[in-house]
Amino acid sequence: MADAGADAAVKHPRRQRRLGLEPSRPTRYGLRFVALLYVGLLVLLPLGTVLWRTFENGVGPVWEAINQPDVWHAFRLTALVAILSVIINTIFGVGMALLLVRTRFPGRQALDFLLDLPLSVSPIVVGLALILVYGKNGWFGGALGDAGIQVIFATPGMVLATVFVSLPLVLREVMPVLREVGIEQEQAAQSLGASALQRFRRITLPTIKWAVAYGLVLSLARSLGEFGAVKVVSGNLLNRTQTATLVVEQKYQDFEQPAAYAIAFVLVFVAIIAIVIISIIRPKEDR
Amino acid sequence: MGIEARNVVKRFGSFTAVDDVSLNVTSGNLTALLGPSGGGKSTLLRIIAGLESPDGGRILIDGVDSTGLPPQRRGVGFVFQHYAAFKHLSVYRNVAFGLEIRRRPKAEIRKRVHELLELVHLEQFADRLPSQLSGGQRQRMALARALAVEPKVLLLDEPFGALDAKVRKELRDWLRRLHDEVHVTTLFVTHDQEEALEVSDELVVINNGRIEQIGSPNDLYDKPANEFVMGFLGPVTQLGGRLVRPHDIEVLLTAEPGTIEATVQRVQRVGFEVRVDFATPASAAVTTVQLTRGQADSLGIRDGLRIWLRAAPNASTIVAAPSLAKTL
């Protein structure tokens, strides 16, 4: 039957030579050198220096610098804020991506445009704006305060600020994937009897899972590293609303450089681990 | 029983895709919806499946008014032109999908899926991913997937449209044989008249959102209701102000009653057949006649030869004027 060409139909894009489009040898090496120099000077050298400074005197002092109550508190708070923000942004990002890609409604493009704003607005401005709305004298601040909920200078405000600055990260990873796969697989599932929830769980979610995972890692990294907005809304209170990045700044200014480097190293380490895990568990045939 | 569409209307903005269409698809038949692209046939199929909602009219599937039902409750199997394979699931899981949704016991699912994979000749590919199959194999998988849930009707939207000519022909024959085995009421959309004539029990010709004619393939070919149907189902030429098929013209070396004088203008051999263009002094139109090589040789066909033409005794002809197209 038609099976004869089955294996030939499985493509091997790597083997195809792009004749005529392949740059010449000097160009190739030149481009590689520029790229390596660029990444080296901008990323590897500064991060390497942090690493070197951290472990200048061995592992002992690093552990000592980290093993302080105020530092542990900051790590716990950072983790809490980051995890809550990532959860909120993942749910919101996937839902909003579905809404923007699968439906047409008036104002859709305006909404699409607005969702990029958090990335372009300075985090300091975000912090100030949140205080204006949720602070004691802000629009909702009074009412929320009467209800016993403190937003500004407390964890809710910090989560709010972190969610804001990492808002579009999951969304922007998921949208192109949804657009590319189209709607036919879901329609096929629907004609086979699947309800909306079953379609989401069995078709949509497996399709976008890697996009979600990437967005999640980006969100996590952004949330762990957020500084400006959190600094404004948290009040930077030691042992209460101080996150890891705020501790780094404070230690650095208090001439406790080793502690500052050690905490900075932990933050970098967590970010790298997240990206490494993703690239290991991601299946080979993707991209 | 089968599928019934009553006065279905669908508009996209100011464009009317389906214009008051009523249609009865006989239970157990393999029916083709044939027409040019943009003629409304796919839209009608999607309305029957519930993937589009009509602006007017009703859809009955197996006697049940399904107009307001979502696709998942209509009991239809749908096959897409581009397969719509679940890319993250193996061939086995693709076919099992509808049964898993219905929470059938594992053993029953396994038995049914293997039966179906055997039916579509994919049993050795059960563990592969769709990306590891050829186009024809993917479409057969999609068909098995649609059949797994024992749909009341099977709807196919240009099922072979994305395949190359050779595979398309094989799958077409295979679909016919499959239907003879499974007997599920099947409605399939195509713009390929050869495909429709070869495969279907019944043919529905749709153009500009309206049904032009319904009938058996032979009926439609031999007794087309109008110029459009005649032209869409096969080659057409003009002879003495009437439309006639090029293979339905007799070529004579002497004048006889009812013949029209003509001269050979051009001779073109295409494989086993010979196409001859004639100029007729009576009208400006060129008449094309299709002959076998043997016929052409025995007549001594050559450029400039004077000859007489007439429609074969049982040929279907219609008057070549659009306003009179409905009269046969």
pLDDT 10s digits, A116-175: 888 888 999 999 999 888 888 888 877 888 888 888 888 899 999 999 999 899 999 999
Find the distance separating the first CA and the last CA of chain A, reported in whole Å: 31
Confidence (pLDDT) at B326: 35
Confidence (pLDDT) at A17: 53
ipTM of the complex: 0.84
Confidence (pLDDT) at A284: 57
Please tell me which of the candidates A1, A9, A10 has its beta carbon nearest to residue B170: A1
Which residue's structure tokens are 């949140």? A130
Distance CA(A256)–CA(B35), nearest Å, equals: 80
Above pLDDT 90, what percent of chain A?
A: 40
Is the pLDDT at B244 greater than 80, yes or no?
Answer: yes
Q: What element of type H or E holds A57? A: none
Segments of A217-256 assigned E as strands: none
Across the interface, do A194 and B97 touch by the CB < 8 Å criterion? yes
Q: What element of type H or E holds B163? A: none
Is the pLDDT at A3 greater than 60, yes or no?
Answer: no
- Provide the β-strand partners of residue B206: B211
Chain A residues near residue B167 by CB distance under 8 angstroms: 2
Confidence (pLDDT) at B323: 41
The residue among B95, B107, B86, B101 whose CA lies nearest residue B148 is: B95
pLDDT tens by residue, B80-130: 999 999 999 999 999 999 999 999 999 999 999 999 999 899 999 999 999
Across the interface, do B146 and A195 touch by the CB < 8 Å criterion? no
pLDDT tens by residue, B265-319: 999 988 888 999 988 887 777 889 998 888 888 888 888 888 899 888 888 888 8
Confidence (pLDDT) at A10: 45
DSSP 3-state assignment of B116?
helix
Distance CA(A263)–CA(A75), nearest Å, equals: 9
Confidence (pLDDT) at B257: 86
- Provide the β-strand partners of residue B23: B5
Token pair recorded at residue A97: 């991506």
**Smallest CA–CA distance from A210 into chain B, residue:** B88
User: For residue B69, what are the CA distances in angstroms to B53, B65, B167, B191, B320?
Assistant: 10, 8, 36, 28, 45
Across the interface, do A192 and B145 touch by the CB < 8 Å criterion? yes
Tell me the pLDDT band of B16, cut-offs 50, 70 and 90: very high
Confidence (pLDDT) at B281: 80
Is the pLDDT at A33 greater than 70, yes or no?
Answer: yes
Distance between A182 CA and the closest CA of chain B, angstroms: 9
Confidence (pLDDT) at A20: 64
Contact B245, B315 (CB under 8 A): yes
User: For residue B33, what are the CA distances in angstroms to A234, B5, B266?
Assistant: 67, 13, 37
User: What are the residues whose beta carbons fall under 8 Å from the beta carbon of A81, sequence distance 6 or more?
Assistant: A155, A158, A159, A162, A223, A230, A243
pLDDT tens by residue, B213-227: 999 999 998 889 988
Distance between B134 CA and the closest CA of chain A, angstroms: 5
Contact B251, B244 (CB under 8 A): no
Chain A residues near residue B102 by CB distance under 8 angstroms: 193
Distance CA(A231)–CA(A162), nearest Å, equals: 11
* Residue A147 contacts B, CB cutoff 8 Å: no
The residue among B17, B9, B100 whose CA lies nearest residue B54 is: B9
Confidence (pLDDT) at B27: 92
Residues in A 201-220 with any Cβ partner in B closer than 8 A: 202-203, 206-207
Segments of B209-259 assigned E as strands: 210-215, 237-239, 242-244, 249-252
Count of C-beta atoms within a 10 Å radius of residue B95: 28
What Rg do the C-alpha atoms of chain A give, in angstroms?
24
Contact A222, A169 (CB under 8 A): yes
Average pLDDT, stretch A175-198?
93
Mean pLDDT of chain B, nearest integer: 90
pLDDT tens by residue, A71-121: 999 999 999 999 999 999 999 999 999 999 998 899 999 999 999 888 888
Count of C-beta atoms within a 10 Å radius of residue B203: 25
What Rg do the C-alpha atoms of chain B give, in angstroms?
24
User: What are the residues whose beta carbons fall under 8 Å from the beta carbon of B285, sequence distance 6 or more?
Assistant: B238
Tell me the pLDDT band of A287, cut-offs 50, 70 and 90: very low
DSSP state of B122: -
Is the pLDDT at A8 greater than 70, yes or no?
Answer: no
pTM of the model: 0.80
